[in-house]
């Protein structure tokens, strides 16, 4: 057989049927569901008198809409309440597994999939959420789908797809001190642009990626979509297998032996051909801060805010000018002088235990600056929260003046009460700095957990390498 | 699936790149459990002066007169023209429902984000990729002060200008077939039920841990 990429291998293993024009039926192993993008899919299923094809492939959890505070009081927003009750009703009606809001296993869908071992190497994983690319860290083919596709997968266990192209992003060498997975992926997005990965499945490779923990690899794959790629993947290695072992949904006994042996094949062959290759020298990556309203508008902490006058492409220059106005920034301003109002540590990008440890290490023994109106830490799941509390991280954060919240998507997209007011500036470990993303008129700067904690303490962005 | 054969309509020139789905339909409206009702809150943050919430009477809100959608010469537009990477970001299909709810049937851009592009076809919204030169031409025409209309013929894969000139666009064969006939793609997939079951049986042998 010809040399194949990791993506080729997982794709080939899941094709049920292929039309002459390449349109394929791709079998889906794991379907993750949350409250926001599923109600209309279930409604469609009921209207057409259809049933889920394979109920054991589904894992549902509420995450986008739920409060991160005072959960004992229930959901006060009636519109959100109805949506959460609808998820509950649909899961009960069709016999689907769902973790309730007060279950310790509840959390952000992309945190709990891997945490439960519901995400396994070589799987196809879908969810009505663009950050499903996260699960690619396990050598799975995982991507976000729309609600009509959620309905399609529920009804048929398949997705209608054409094969994407292969891109290799090779991050060679080692990163320096204070440079995290988030900084790696933001610098990849800076290089590719927000649409550079459109139409591709990206495989992240190279020493800097191999050196990352599984948590770090998830952070990188999570943001593949911010470079336009629906799927990001990392080849399986011993680290992957060690992470999966013993998790509730992971195989056991003979099946574990069989599976873990098969998973080690989930790497690109030595001579595999990629349609595009990008190489990045890890040693040149600095801690990153976004300054604009697209994840590609990102610079190292040592940089200054750019000017539209220096951009020759008119569409891009207009974009820069518009972003500067929205963000309330002036060209030439030093990034480490930008003062902030709020800090958000959380989201499916950066709310795993390693992220919280990283932030706590910076916050320990300090207090948040006087100009910080709110600094919040929102763990990715009940189990992450429990682990952090066992390690005493909650106390470090609380002593430093952070709020310690219940798990959920929270201020990453501000569907619940956690949001920015117009004009407020936030250092956020989330994934999108779009206009209004964290609240209408809110100004988001994407950073790593350590950089967010550093900014909370200083009141403005700082180079954490100098702390 | 909503059928699409031919459509004639006025262009709305939205001269921005990287229009994300958060901008197309802000998060607060995603709490709805319906597929309809999103038209009045399409481009909500740009369209209105004040913050909107679900359940409001949006017809009473103050419009942002600077936003192109609110300008009188574009009232009734049903073909949206934008710059590259339209529909990036969140997978929310509500973005498509909002565009369709407002009355759009076609979006033209030099490129689209994958998930949005895919979602569009499911609700009868036709996304058309044209090269930058053609997009520039259409921006020039539609921003010239008077309304500029096009006819989009899916069967012929042709766009007809007011001058009568025509030019071609690409569309995927399977998607064209579904759109032209308004087909339910779940029903089409279920025709392959035997193949899906056979795949599952084989896969249970090869990778039993997946079942």
Contact (CB<8Å) B22/A294? no
Do the Cβ atoms of B31 and A23 come within 8 Å? no
Residue A369: pLDDT over 90: yes
Contacts of A141 in chain B (CB under 8 A): none
**B-chain residues near A262 (CB < 8 A):** 207
Specify the pLDDT at position B11. Answer: 98
Mutation site for B-interface testing, chosen from A75, A192, A195, A255 by largest number of B Cβ within 10 Å: A195
pLDDT for A128: 98
Q: Pairing mode, if any, of strands A30-33 and A58-60?
A: parallel
Quick check: helix, strand or coil at residue A280?
Answer: strand
Cβ of A437 and B22 within 8 Å? yes
Least confident of A75-79, A179-183, A267-271: A75-79
| Shortest Cα–Cα distance, A440 to chain B (Å) | 7
pTM of the model: 0.97
Buried b (16+ CB within 10 A) or exposed e, A213-247: ebbbbbbbbbbbbbbbbbbbbbbbbeebbebbeee
pLDDT digits (tens, 9 = 90+) for A269-300: 999 999 999 999 999 999 999 999 999 999 99
A280, two tokens: 């990045």
CB–CB contact A415 B35 (8 Å): no
3 state DSSP class of A418:
coil
| Interchain contact, B33 vs A122, CB within 8 Å | no
Q: Which positions in chain A touch B96 (Cβ < 8 Å)?
A: 146
Q: DSSP of A73-91, one letter per residue?
A: G----HHHHHHHHHHHHHH
pLDDT at A142: 98
Q: Which residues of A touch B199 (CB under 8 A)?
A: 16, 27
pLDDT at A1 over 80: no
Q: How far apart are CA A188 and CA A169, in angstroms?
A: 8
Residue A233: beta bridge partners?
Answer: A203
Degrees (nearest 5) of the Cα angle A428, A434, A435? 110
Residues of B in contact with A50 (CB under 8 A): 186
| Alpha-carbon span A82 to A88, nearest angstrom | 10
Task: Convert the pLDDT of each residue in A416-435 to its tens digit.
Answer: 999 999 999 999 999 999 99
Whether A27 and B84 lie within 8 Å, measured CB to CB: no
Query: Which of A39, A145, A198 lies closest to B111 in CB terms?
Result: A198
Residue B145 is predicted with a pLDDT of 78
Residue A218, min C-alpha distance to chain B (Å): 18
User: What's the fold here for domain B6-181?
Assistant: Aconitase; domain 4 (3.20.19)
pLDDT at position A467, please? 87
Q: What is the mean pLDDT of residues A329-357?
A: 98
Query: For residues A289 and A427, what is the distance between their CA atoms, to the nearest angstrom?
Result: 9
Residue B143, helix vs strand vs coil? coil
Distances (CA, A) of A57 to A53, A95, A251, A314: 9, 11, 14, 48
What was the pLDDT predicted at B72? Answer: 95
| pLDDT at position A336 over 90 | yes
- Residues in chain A closer than 8 A to B84 (CB atoms): 195, 315
3-state secondary structure B59-109: HHCCECCCCHHHCHHHCCCCEEEECCCECECCCCCHHHHHHHHHCCCEEEE
Residue located via tokens 């309440």: A81
Residue A176: what pLDDT?
97
**Segments of A287-385 assigned E as strands:** 288-290, 298-300, 342-345, 374-377
Contact status, residue A220 vs residue B171, Cβ threshold 8 Å: no
Tell me which residue in A259, A436, A440 faces B209 most closely, judged by beta carbons: A259
Residues 6+ apart with CB under 8 A from A362: A450, A453, A454, A457, A464, A467
Alpha-carbon gap, residue B211 to B209, rounded angstroms: 5
**A271: which DSSP letter?**
T
Q: How many CA atoms lie within 13 A of A323 on its CB side?
A: 28
User: How far is Cα A225 from Cα A197, in angstroms, rounded to an integer?
Assistant: 8
Question: In this predicted model, what pLDDT tens digit does every residue of A207-232 receive, in sequence order?
Answer: 999 999 999 999 999 999 999 999 99
Give the residue among B64, B73, B115, B86 at the shortest CA–CA distance from B16: B86
**Residue B2 banded pLDDT, cuts 50, 70, 90:** confident
Distances (CA, A) of B181 to A107, B2, B3, B154, B184: 42, 9, 6, 11, 9
What does A12-72 look like in DSSP terms, one character per residue? Answer: HTTEEEE-TTS-EEEE-SEEEE-SSSSHHHHHHHHHTT---S-GGGEEE---SS--SS-GG
CA distance, residue A317 to nearest chain B CA (Å): 11
- H/E stretch holding B204: helix B193-206
pLDDT at residue B1 tops 90: no
Distance from C-alpha of A137 to C-alpha of A123, rounded to nearest angstrom: 11
How buried is B203 (Cβ within 10 angstroms: 0-12 exposed, 13-18 middle, 19+ buried)?
middle
- Alpha carbon separation from B156 to B118, B166, B169, B174 (Å, rounded): 21, 11, 9, 15
Is a pLDDT exceeding 90 seen at residue B184? Answer: no
Copy the structure tokens of residue A357: 């440890």
What is the rounded CA–CA span in Å between residue A225 and residue A231? 7
User: Model confidence at A322, in pLDDT bands (50, 70, 90)?
Assistant: very high
Between A143, A228, A436, which is nearest B26 by CB? Answer: A436
Q: Do A147 and B93 touch (CB under 8 A)?
A: yes
């Amino acid at each position: 057989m010809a040399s194949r990429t990791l993506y080729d291998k997982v794709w080939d293993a899941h094709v049920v049927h292929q039309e002459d024009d390449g349109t394929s039926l791709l079998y889906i192993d794991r379907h993750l569901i949350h409250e926001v993008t599923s109600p209309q899919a279930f409604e469609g299923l009921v209207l057409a008198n259809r049933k889920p094809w394979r109920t054991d492939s589904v894992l549902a959890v509420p995450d986008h809409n739920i409060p991160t505070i005072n959960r004992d009081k229930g959901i006060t927003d009636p519109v959100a309440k109805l949506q959460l009750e609808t998820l509950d009703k649909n899961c009960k009606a069709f016999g689907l597994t769902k973790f309730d809001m007060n279950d310790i296993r509840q959390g952000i869908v992309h945190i709990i999939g891997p945490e439960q071992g519901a995400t396994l190497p070589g799987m196809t994983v879908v969810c009505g959420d663009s950050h499903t690319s996260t699960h690619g860290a396990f050598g799975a083919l995982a991507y976000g789908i729309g609600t009509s596709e959620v309905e399609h997968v529920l009804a048929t266990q398949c997705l209608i797809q054409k094969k994407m192209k292969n891109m290799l992003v090779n991050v060679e060498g080692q990163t320096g001190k204070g440079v995290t997975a988030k900084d790696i992926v933001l610098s990849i997005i800076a290089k590719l642009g927000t649409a550079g990965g459109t139409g591709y499945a990206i495989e992240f490779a190279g020493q800097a990626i191999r050196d990352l923990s599984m948590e770090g690899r998830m952070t990188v794959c999570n943001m593949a979509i911010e470079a336009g790629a629906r799927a990001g993947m990392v080849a399986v290695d011993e680290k992957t297998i060690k992470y999966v072992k013993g998790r509730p949904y992971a195989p056991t006994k003979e099946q574990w032996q069989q599976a873990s042996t098969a998973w080690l094949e989930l790497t690109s062959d030595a001579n595999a051909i990629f349609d595009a290759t990008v190489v990045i020298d890890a040693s040149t990556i600095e801690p990153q801060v976004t300054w604009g309203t697209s994840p590609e508008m990102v610079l190292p902490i040592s940089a200054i805010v750019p000017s539209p006058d220096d951009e020759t492409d008119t569409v891009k220059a207009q974009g820069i000018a518009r972003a500067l106005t929205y963000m309330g920034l002036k060209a030439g301003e030093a990034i480490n002088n930008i003062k902030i109002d709020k800090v958000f540590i959380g989201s499916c990008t950066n709310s795993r235990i390693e992220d919280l440890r990283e932030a706590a290490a910076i916050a320990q023994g300090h207090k948040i600056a006087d100009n910080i109106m709110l600094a919040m830490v929102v763990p990715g799941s009940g189990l992450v929260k429990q682990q952090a509390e066992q390690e005493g991280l909650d106390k470090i954060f609380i002593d430093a003046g952070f709020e310690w919240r219940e798990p959920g998507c929270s201020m990453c997209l501000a569907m619940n009460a956690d949001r920015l007011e117009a004009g407020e500036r936030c250092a956020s470990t989330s994934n999108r700095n779009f206009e209004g993303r964290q609240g209408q008129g809110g100004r988001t700067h994407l950073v790593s957990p350590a950089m967010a904690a550093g900014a909370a303490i200083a009141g403005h962005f700082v180079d954490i390498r100098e702390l | 699936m909503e059928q699409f054969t031919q459509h004639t309509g006025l262009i709305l020139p939205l001269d921005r790149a990287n229009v994300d789905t958060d901008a197309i339909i802000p998060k607060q409206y995603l709490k709805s459990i319906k597929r309809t009702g999103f038209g009045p809150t399409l481009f909500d943050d740009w369209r209105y002066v004040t913050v909107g919430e679900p359940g409001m009477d949006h017809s009473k809100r103050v419009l942002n007169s600077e936003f192109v959608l609110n300008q009188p010469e574009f009232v009734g537009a049903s073909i949206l023209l934008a710059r590259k990477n339209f529909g990036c970001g969140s997978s929310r299909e509500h973005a498509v429902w909002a565009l369709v709810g407002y009355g759009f049937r076609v979006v033209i851009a030099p490129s689209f984000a994958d998930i949005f592009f895919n979602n569009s076809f499911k609700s009868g919204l036709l996304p058309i990729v044209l090269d930058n030169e053609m997009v520039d031409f259409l921006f020039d025409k539609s921003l010239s002060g008077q309304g500029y209309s096009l006819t989009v013929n899916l069967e012929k894969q042709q766009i007809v200008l007011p001058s009568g000139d025509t030019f071609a666009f690409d569309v995927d064969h399977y998607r064209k077939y579904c759109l032209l006939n308004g087909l339910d793609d779940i029903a089409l997939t279920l025709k392959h039920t035997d193949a899906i079951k056979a795949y599952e049986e084989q896969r249970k042998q090869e990778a039993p841990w997946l079942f």
